[in-house]
Amino acid sequence: MTSSPKCQSCGMPLTADPKGGGTNADGSLSREYCSYCYVNGALVNPDMTLEEMKALVVDKLQEKGVPRFIGKFFALGLPRLKRWRKH
């Protein structure tokens, strides 16, 4: 069983993105980031911290009816995503 590609900023499955992904600078579809996080080859909120993203993920999932503790569980995986890994 393989998992679908996830946004490397917020962790949302790209299959759940209504636009199918963010856009690269050349207008092509990004295979790494969703349309909420990445537009025209740049992160939408480049100064956002990991802690701010964790809070946003929990809030957005809660808006969709996901219990808060499950949202927090999903947010635990954010540091492993490309945007948040320390180089």
Domain edges within the chain: 14-80
CB atoms within 10 A of CB 75: 20
Handedness of CA 1, 10, 23, 86 (dihedral sign): negative
Q: State pLDDT tens for residues 12-25.
A: 999 999 999 999 99
Average of per-residue pLDDT across 8-15: 96
**pLDDT tens sequence across 42-53:** 999 999 999 999
- Indicate if the pLDDT at residue 87 is higher than 70: no
**C-alpha–C-alpha distance, residues 73 and 45, integer Å:** 23
What is the pTM assigned to this prediction?
0.89
Q: Across the chain, what does the average pLDDT equal?
A: 94
